[in-house]
Amino acid sequence: MLRAAVAAKTPLGVKAKEAMDKVEDTLNHYFLLPSANCRTY
């Protein structure tokens, strides 16, 4: 349902897309990109 709203660019779809992008960015930051605060043992 949300994917259809995103594809149709409805107001709900735009909000959903923004939320999905934030989640994706957060996941990429924590799991895919090396962090300066990480220690290697």
Choice between 35 and 16, residue whose per-residue pLDDT is larger: 16
Q: Is the dihedral of CA 20, 25, 30, 31 positive or negative?
A: positive
- Domain count along the chain: 1
39 is a domain residue: no
22 is a domain residue: yes
40 is a domain residue: no
Q: How far is CA 24 from the centre of its chain?
A: 2
Task: Quick: pLDDT tens for 26-39.
Answer: 877 777 666 555 55
- Model's pTM, two decimal places? 0.61
Residue 36: the pLDDT is: 56
Compute the average pLDDT of residues 4-27: 91
Residue 4: the pLDDT is: 93
41 is a domain residue: no
19 is a domain residue: yes
8 is a domain residue: yes
What is the domain range of residue 6?
2-32
